[in-house]
Structure 1
């Protein structure tokens, strides 16, 4: 493959020049790298820096001045692991933005005496409500309280809720939820609640629950305009009296509710969600550590088609869009 070919290792953190050097050494092991920039038609100094970084990453090795490329399986696994750690570090840094928000907020002039503080916001339209919920979940720092009177969640509900819920739980936000007992009878809903519990959420169950309540950091409360028809919109309030009333109502209901964990254990079901079989666990590990399916299938001792079918099943089970996403989700569930 020439240096002009499409570069595929950018996703693993290698620059175009670094990939060109690595591929060249795969094709031509045991050569000197001093003048490799001439062969690759790159500038000397960027190529020299690329070679040095490949040495530091242990992607190439030199003996007696002659360089060789390390095995692709090991290189891809090492780079993928490093890239995942970088992504996690980035995610962690992006979850601590409140000091920045507070700093910017201090730039806003104080309202004039008597000015409308707009402590109650009326929100109509499903998209506007979802946008507001996304904002509130993103900036929640300490606690989210939720009372949700549904009998079952649709797949769309689950997919839209998962990133918001997991974002809070990954940051260490305390999440407490009240649900109806009838929701336990729906398989996908129960599985999602198990997923949340495994990630650190606390859930309690009531025989009767008719009130929809959401409270963020005991500072902002969201309730429906019409409890009998939530499609009409919602009220979002930061008025202390309103928020306190909603919180007190939630705590009253919470005190009389049954623990979701205990109820699930009584049913004989694992709170960790579906358990992986031995072969699924092995395939998941290989998928995250080897570069080629052929090698993974061989190490798992199964046919290539079977190996790929297991990967497809795992991605569906995790709700992953691709293999990198599957690796991240598997880590969140402590499967790898």
Structure 2
């Protein structure tokens, strides 16, 4: 109970024994607490160091200082040490900011785009941004499954930011609910205090920090693992507007995907829209983060609902029913 003041359980029990029986002596205390005499003497030394005992003139056993005096004094001492430590940490925080500005911010003031040429560089930059973010970290996570390297790259920065009180909001595609690994990651993030919503389709992988810095893939097709770091309102604010619009239209994580007034989920409507614009089942599946098997199953169910015997007929009836709007 008093560990915060520097007393372990054994030392606290010896202190209580001395308060209850001031003339008990080492032997009786050891017997009562099932300790060795050496353990009792060790506890007595600790209590003397904490000024919870004072030597007694007429006894070999020191006298216990009353809790009102001894523990209150010990609490005040710990509070003073804590305040001093907080002042040291604030000084260290200022020094870290100055150090970082001197050695890590090498971006010319007029340079709006920086290139991060490897996954390691992206990970390092994400950690730096999470450690310095002040208000919020926003992200778009397209695709169905989050690959293990992406989970590893994102987990630590998210946790670091949340532990510092920074808001973390992420948008996944609806299809992530079908992937156990991505689902575990989302639940982990939500349990830490992150906010998650889902939408049927996301245009790009994106990270925004404090609405002033954005990271986007240097190669949207995924052939390279680098990123571009964007600065300046002209580049970052449109991406913030994109995130805000997707967030408003998203479904809260943990709830079933909502259906519209025509009883279509967002994924079903997005699939119809993509197929209607010439995408194959394979390319539509890639954009939605769905397997080819899932795409074909969804399309078969939609054809049944439309009473269509062919895809052409399904497309005509979907258009007549206004199912092809985005």
Q: TM-score, with normalisation over the residues of structure 1?
A: 0.49
* Alignment of structure 1 residues 191-210 onto 2, 5 Å: 191-210=184-203
Q: Does 1:258 align with 2:251?
A: yes
Residue among 173, 178, 182 paired with 1:185:
178
User: What does the per-residue CA deviation read over 1:114-164, in whole Å, with 9 as the maximum and x for residues that have no partner?
Assistant: x76333111111111111111111111101110011312345543443322
Q: Which deviates more from structure 2 when the two are superposed, residues 190-199 or residues 125-134? A: 190-199
* Alignment of structure 1 residues 71-86 onto 2, 5 Å: none
CA drift at 1:247: 0.8
Partner residue, 2:115: 122
Separation (CA, whole Å) in 2 of partners of 1:264 and 1:95 = 46
Q: Is the Cα contact below 8 Å between 1:30 and 1:66 reproduced in 2?
A: no
Partner residue, 1:76: none
Q: 1:55 to 1:155 in 2, by over 3 A?
A: farther
* Alignment of structure 1 residues 143-292 onto 2, 5 Å: 143-229=136-222, 231-263=224-256
**SS of corresponding position for 1:161:** helix
Separation (CA, whole Å) in 2 of partners of 1:149 and 1:176 = 14
CA drift at 1:264: 8.5
Partner residue, 2:311: none
User: What does the per-residue CA deviation read over 1:15-44, in whole Å, with 9 as the maximum and x for residues that have no partner?
Assistant: xxx9xxxxxx954358767xx9xxxxxxxx
Separation (CA, whole Å) in 1 of partners of 2:90 and 2:150 = 24
Alignment gaps of 5+ in structure 1 = 1-12, 19-24, 37-47, 59-63, 68-85, 266-336
**SS of corresponding position for 2:110:** coil
**SS of corresponding position for 1:231:** coil
**SS of corresponding position for 1:245:** helix
Q: 1:246 to 1:65 in 2, by over 3 A?
A: farther
Separation (CA, whole Å) in 2 of partners of 1:154 and 1:101 = 33
Separation (CA, whole Å) in 2 of partners of 1:107 and 1:143 = 24
Q: 1:128 to 1:31 in 2, by over 3 A?
A: closer
User: What does the per-residue CA deviation read over 1:56-88, in whole Å, with 9 as the maximum and x for residues that have no partner?
Assistant: 5x9xxxxx6448xxxxxxxxxxxxxxxxxx9xx
* Alignment of structure 1 residues 310-321 onto 2, 5 Å: none
Q: 1:232 to 1:158 in 2, by over 3 A?
A: closer
Residues paired across the two proteins, number: 203
Structure showing greater Rg: 2
| Backbone CA RMSD of aligned residues | 4.5
**SS of corresponding position for 2:254:** helix
Q: 1:52 to 1:160 in 2, by over 3 A?
A: farther
Separation (CA, whole Å) in 2 of partners of 1:32 and 1:65 = 12
Separation (CA, whole Å) in 2 of partners of 1:186 and 1:96 = 46
Q: Is the Cα contact below 8 Å between 1:95 and 1:171 reproduced in 2?
A: no
CA drift at 1:176: 1.0
**SS of corresponding position for 1:249:** helix
Partner residue, 1:52: 48
Separation (CA, whole Å) in 1 of partners of 2:90 and 2:137 = 15
Q: Does 1:28 align with 2:10?
A: no
Q: Is the Cα contact below 8 Å between 2:212 and 2:236 reproduced in 1?
A: yes
Q: Is the Cα contact below 8 Å between 2:112 and 2:231 reproduced in 1?
A: yes
Q: 1:263 to 1:138 in 2, by over 3 A?
A: farther
Alignment gaps of 5+ in structure 2 = 1-5, 12-29, 54-58, 63-80, 259-326
